[in-house]
């Protein structure tokens, strides 16, 4: 287990005002297990980390992040307040989003700074469309049409790679 896991567990417990006892109640875990993780004497299983994350209301990856990275995440969320407004007004657009998706959306900027509501909506629609295309391509690659789908993707890729002036979006 990384030092970041212990640090993040302590940070998240402090942020939520949770004692070891309270976290044990939220997760259904034994207090000795949590105490062992906090002191470094116990290496948690993946299922234990999942239960801790659920009890703390965070994604599992937040237990592993370098705390310095969390500053960037917080900064991005503060500089894009329109995201929270759009999330509140259009909850249906964020079905099955991951923490990584939200990080990507919050890190986007418009001309001159944070996104406007319209910019957030455009970015969300673009991200959802990209996810839909990825899901469809994944399905095609698992079907009897895998060879054809792969050939089409290869052909399109070659066209973009050979003709760099062709209109395409730069990867982020």
Q: What is the 3-state secondary structure (H, E, C) of the chain?
A: CCHHHHHHHHHHHHHCCCCHHHHHHHHCCCHHHHHHHHHCCCCCCHHHHHHHHHHHCCCHHHHCCCHHHHHHHHHHHHHCHHHHHHHHHCHHHHCCCCHHHHHHHHHCCECCECCCHHHHHHHHHHHHHHHHHHHHHHHHHCCCCHHHHHHHHHHHHHHHHHCCCCCCCCCC
pLDDT average, residue stretch 4-10: 86
pLDDT at 84: 87
Domain spans in the chain, listed from the N-terminal domain onward: 3-65, 76-162
Long-range (24+ apart) CB contacts under 8 A made by 69-76 are 73/103, 73/106, 76/103, 76/106, 76/107
Which is it for the CA torsion 99, 102, 106, 110, positive or negative? positive
Separation of alpha carbons 154 and 127, rounded Å:
22
Could you say which architecture CATH assigns to the domain 3-65? Answer: Orthogonal Bundle (1.10)
pLDDT one-digit tens code per residue, 17-69: 999 999 999 999 999 999 998 988 778 888 999 999 999 988 888 888 777 66
pLDDT at 128: 95
Percent of the chain with pLDDT over 70: 85
Is pLDDT at 150 greater than 90 in this prediction? yes
**The overall pTM is greater than 0.85:** no
- The closest of 94, 146, 148 to 125, measured between CA atoms, is 94
Any residues with CB less than 8 A from the CB of 59 and at least 6 apart, and which?
53, 98, 99
Name the band, by pLDDT with cuts 50, 70 and 90, for residue 167: low
């Amino acid at each position: 287990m990384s030092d970041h896991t212990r640090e993040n567990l302590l940070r998240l417990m402090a942020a939520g005002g949770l004692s070891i006892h309270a976290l044990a109640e939220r997760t259904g875990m034994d207090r000795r297990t949590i105490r062992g993780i906090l002191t470094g004497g116990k290496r948690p299983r993946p299922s234990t980390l999942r239960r801790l994350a659920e009890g703390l209301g965070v994604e599992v990856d937040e237990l592993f992040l370098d705390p310095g990275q969390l500053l960037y995440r917080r900064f991005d969320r503060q500089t894009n307040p329109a995201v929270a407004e759009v999330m509140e007004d259009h909850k249906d657009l964020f079905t099955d989003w991951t923490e990584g998706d939200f990080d990507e959306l919050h890190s986007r900027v418009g001309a001159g700074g944070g996104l406007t509501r319209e910019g957030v909506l455009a970015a969300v629609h673009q991200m959802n469309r990209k996810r839909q295309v990825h899901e469809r391509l994944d399905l095609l690659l698992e079907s009897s049409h895998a060879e054809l789908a792969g050939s089409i993707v290869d052909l399109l890729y070659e066209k973009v790679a050979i003709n760099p002036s062709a209109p395409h979006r730069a990867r982020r």
